[in-house]
A and B are shown apart, each in its own frame.
Chain A
Amino acid sequence: MKEGFRQSMAWLHTWAGLVFGWLLFAIFLTGTLSYFKAEINHWSQPEIPSRALNSAASLDLAQRYLQTHAAGAGSWFIDLPSEREPELSVSWRPAGGGRGDSTQKVLDPATGSELQARDSRGGDFFYRFHFQLQMPHPWGRWLSTFCALMMFVGLITGIITHKKIFKEFFTFRPGKAQRSWLDGHNAIGVLVLPFHLMISYSSLVIFMALVMPASIAVSYNNDTRAFFSDVFGIPQSVKATGKAAEPLPLSTLYAKVQEQVPGARIAWVEVQNPGDENARVRVTRYSGDRIAHLRGGGWLFDGVSGTHLSSDFADTTPMLISGGFYGLHLGEFAGPVLRWLYFFFGLAGTAVIGTGLVMWLGKRQLKHAKSGVQPFELRLVEVLNIASMSGLILAVAGFFWANRLIPAFQEGRADAEINTFFLIWGLSLLHALLRPGRKAWGEQLAVAAVFYLALPLINAWTTGQGLNHSIRVGDWSMAGFDLTALGCGLFLYWAARKMLLPPVVAPKRAPKVAKAAALIESEVK
């Protein structure tokens, strides 16, 4: 019975992994990029200069701008710059308006003047794609959440299937074909398991209303708003009286917040009914100041008298649990070191999926190696593997190229960037269809290597903010992006070389010598 159980788990692991692996690879890779969403945003809009942070001054500048340009609006929103992203953005919407009715402008945080930045989704594109898959609402969210569930299933079944989880805990044997792939798959899976489990389980928590709507509907009598308010917190709103009143400068309220919590970083300020007697100012703390990610938490002030009305940091247990998982998933609290580790663990998750897909195919291809003829289904998996992995890597680079090469103020350029991404992804599928497997891998990886290695050059050429400039002025978000692109390019070059050179033969050793060396090695052991 026990063996039967393990076998059925292995079956589930194999097939759930194959069917959802391609999409999971894309979800993990774009999710990993999202840990540097702010940096990618900054890189995508090089017109926004990096300035010394001064939240109080920026707030007053934003307020002045909004008073002249959006005096009659129902609410104002101010998104303050952070160490990672220099953008000060303001938006407003008419009373009773929804999200779609808002107008957004980008300001220079030091002068308050309007900035003309190129229209680009930047890091937000990858972030959104990561859980919406560029599909209409709610299908993308639903599908990506289901993929997360399958990832969780894959992890659990993987643990059950893995016979020697402790005995081979430290084991990785390179240079042994299928054996090495399995070792690598197991090692990255097991060593980074806490991250994998956290990331897939927390995504289910984030979208729990999608995953388990029935239990929520029953417990809350179909009042999902009450559920969200309990679990995540939702701010209340007040009505305007219609009588005008002189508002306080926002920096005064900022100072009050600093008095209460010295050093608190402020991310977001919302003014309801600006200019009205009933103006309310909600100051939201940067969610990276703590691990738990809570919506609607912050200080509420009377915008006219400056009276502190409430601070709602409702630390109820359900909010802390769900907010804790939410925060762990997003990693907003992470400083530079921890953020890089998040990035690498995200890549590790991507690699677990990728190695799994490669192994599924490799194992089955071995059976047909002698005849040289591949059955249709294996060829299909091969093409999808190539397009979903190296094709996606290529498409990401294409997005960044488009960001630099499409004229900065062309109409509809943000959409053109996204179209470039999908166009290149589609072309990679076509290319994978036309070329034999190993060649297709190698060629796509080689092109990707060139794409990434050239990114810093294109950046320097089109914006004048290349590495020589960004390092000198200490703009580490910009420099970090370029350096990471270089690193990715080198890695892809290495991978492409491996694929394009004839297999098995090590570059410097003839096959016979290699065999002999292996023998000697095994004798020593």
Chain B
Amino acid sequence: MLAITLFGFAGFAGLCLSMERHYSDLLGHKATPRRLRGLRIGGWLLLVVALWLAVLKSGWAMGLVELFAVLMAGLCLWVFVLPYRPKLLLVLAAASVVLGPFSALGWI
């Protein structure tokens, strides 16, 4: 379930950053349209991977329940901590991207 959480969290972080206002708020500079598109595609891809991992691990019924649960939890964490500790969340999101594959392979 950790791998699903990491991929899902990173996915939504990507989608958040793909919005111009959030991107410039969080990273302090304006994004090129190309980068925004990249983030949007990347974010969705990470979410698809999370879905795939969830279904692979627990089947459609339980997989979807687990996926929704960790996605909603990750989103709440992201949105409600963002105004207070944006840097921490960016680090967490980056760590999720890096650690996600290792977790999916069962190494952590």
Which A residues contact B (CB, under 8 angstroms)? 167, 169-174, 187-188, 191-192, 194-195, 291, 324, 328, 333, 337-338, 341-342, 344-345, 348, 525
Contacts and interface: CB of A to CB of B under 8 A. Distances in A.
Nearest to A338: B69
B83 A194 contact: no
Contact of B78 (A167, A170, A291): A170
Contacts of B22: 170
Interface string B38-81: 00000000000000000000000110011011101101101110
A192 B65 CA distance: 13
Contact of A174 (B69, B70, B83): B83
Contacts of A170: 16, 19, 22, 78-79, 82
Nearest to B80: A172
Contact of A344 (B16, B73, B83): B73
Given A328-B65, A342-B69, 8 more contacts: A167-B19, A170-B22, A170-B78, A188-B76, A192-B76, A291-B62, A324-B61, A345-B69
Given A170-B16, A172-B82, A525-B25, A337 B72 contact: no
A291 B78 CA distance: 29
B1 interface: yes
Closest 10 CB pairs between A and B?
Answer: A191-B75, A170-B16, A341-B69, A192-B72, A194-B68, A172-B79, A174-B83, A187-B79, A291-B61, A191-B76
Contacts of A345: 69, 72
Q: Interface on chain B toward A: helix, strand, loop, or mixed SS?
A: helix
Interface of B: 1, 16, 19, 22, 25, 61-62, 65-66, 68-70, 72-73, 75-76, 78-80, 82-84
Contacts of B76: 187-188, 191-192, 344, 348
Contacts of A194: 68, 72
A172 B83 contact: yes
B76 to A, nearest CB: 5
A291 B65 CA distance: 9
27 contacts: A167-B19, A169-B16, A170-B19, A170-B22, A170-B78, A172-B79, A172-B80, A172-B83, A187-B76, A187-B80, A191-B72, A191-B76, A192-B72, A194-B72, A195-B68, A291-B61, A324-B61, A337-B1, A338-B66, A341-B70, A341-B73, A342-B69, A344-B73, A344-B76, A345-B69, A345-B72, A348-B76
A171 B79 contact: yes
Contacts of B83: 172-174
Interface of A is mostly: helix
Contacts of A291: 61-62, 65
Contacts of A195: 68, 72
A333 B22 CA distance: 38
A188 B61 CA distance: 25
A328 B69 CA distance: 12
A169 B18 CA distance: 12
A170 B75 CA distance: 8
A172 B16 CA distance: 13
A319 B8 CA distance: 32
Contacts of B1: 337
A194 B76 CA distance: 13
Nearest to A342: B69
A136 B22 CA distance: 53
A188 B82 CA distance: 14
Contacts of A324: 61
A328 B79 CA distance: 26
A188 B73 CA distance: 11
Contacts of B82: 170, 172
Contacts of B79: 170-172, 187, 191
User: Which of B16, B70, B79, B80: most chain A CB closer than 10 A?
Assistant: B79
